[in-house]
Every structure is written in structure tokens, then in C-alpha cells.
Amino acid sequence: MNYRHNYYYNIFFAFFFFLLSNCQINTKNHGILFLENRYNKLEVNKTNSNDVIQIVGNPHTKSISDKNTWIYIERILSKGKYHKLGKNVVKTNNVMVLTFDKYGVLVEKKIYDKDKLSNLKFAKEITENNLSQNSFIEDFLQSIKTKMYSGKK
């Protein structure tokens, strides 16, 4: 009887172990973690660029037109629930934009979370890129290539 009781006991714990092993949270992080907490530590007109580097770290990117605008990104993806079929779901998506004056003192700070990012409006105009346009010879060779391989299946 003791052997049979021990057998069921082991099966129960094996089942329980596999059940709990699927419950762990699987996340993928990109950027600086806890960006909102670090954002709250920064004070406008008090914090300088060296303090920002100590608190947050080096910026992910700087603005193209203004080198005094720094941009930081935080993105956390986690596995979806059963109704999402295990696809990655954006849990956190924060973007922090810091602007400094010519002396390196923080004059403006903004943070955008995933709700505010969805409210941003983008221009609907399409910019033509002359650099990516192919020459006449490239277009001609590309059309010959597609005609050659279109008969093969």
C-alpha cells in the first residue's frame, strides 16, 4: 500500500510541476528598464546632461536637427494568454524625450507611454526617395530576370 501511495504522490507532484512551469512569465526587454521611475528623478532647470547620464545612461539616439534633444526607449514584450495563442504582446512601451539648453541644463522632459503614442498624428504625405530608384539598366535586367523565372514552378 505504501508503494502505491508513493506512486500517486510522485505523479501528482510531476503534474503540478509541469502545470506551474508553464505559468512563468516570459518577457523580452529592450532599452532602459523602469524608464518612468528614472524620469521622475529628473528635475527641469536643475539636472544637467552629466546627471542624466548617471541616472538614465547614454541616450539611444539624439535628434537629427538638434543634438541637444536626447531620446530614450523602453519596451517590454511578454507572451500572450491562451486567447492570443502565445504571441508577443507589448506590455510597456515608453519613450522619453529630453531637451537641453546650450549649457547642458535640462529645460524640457516628456514621456510617452503606449496610450499617448497611439494618439500621435503622422503626416499622410509620401516622400519620394530618389536614392532608391533604380537606373534604366537595373530595371531592364530585373524585368528580364522575372520573365526568365516566371515559367519555372
pLDDT per residue as tens digits for the range 46-89: 999 999 999 999 998 898 888 899 999 988 888 766 655 667 77
Q: How much is the average pLDDT of 136-152?
A: 77
Tell me the torsion sign for CA atoms 11, 14, 17, 22: negative
Which range of 11-15, 36-40, 122-126, 138-142 scores highest in mean pLDDT? It is 36-40
Model confidence band, residue 100 (pLDDT cutoffs 50, 70, 90): very high
Nearest residue to 55 via CA among 34, 41, 66, 65: 41
* Lookup: cell for 65: 536637427
The domains of the chain are located at: 25-125
Cα separation, 106 vs 54, in Å, equals: 14
Query: For residue 76, what pLDDT is reported?
Result: 86
Which pLDDT belongs to residue 71? 92
Is pLDDT above 70 for 32? yes
pTM of the model: 0.61
